[in-house]
Amino acid sequence: MKLYPFSALLARMKYITRWSLMHSTRPESLSEHTCDTALLAHTLCLIARRYTGTPCRPKTVAVAALYHDAPEIITGDMPTPVKYSSPGLRDASAHMTCSRLNGSTNSSTTMTILV
């Protein structure tokens, strides 16, 4: 088992090109996708709280969105049907996603990855 610095793993997101069913004018990195997802999730929570009274926590939702594709730092981008087609892939993805979300994410934090 090896330990990798958590921040260094997250920094790799800019080098991972997303796989997409839709054609676009330029490829999108995992980092761009993650940022857009966090902004959208945060905004939707603010709207829901203000206009419908939904008890949600925009900051918590935004942080969850930042880490929603964290396993793809190691695996590369995978289409959702592939990611969830195998119990082993599904479990490994869930384990990697949850392994550090409950703790600090500062530069000294490490993430355990089975290699």
Asked if 64 and 101 count as a contact pair (C-beta separation under 8 A), the reply is yes
Q: What is the pLDDT of residue 38?
A: 96
What share of the chain has pLDDT > 70, as a percent?
Answer: 73
**Best CA proximity match to 8, nearest among 108, 104, 96, 78:** 108
Q: What is the pLDDT of residue 104?
A: 40
Asked if 2 and 113 count as a contact pair (C-beta separation under 8 A), the reply is yes
- Any residues with CB less than 8 A from the CB of 92 and at least 6 apart, and which? 71
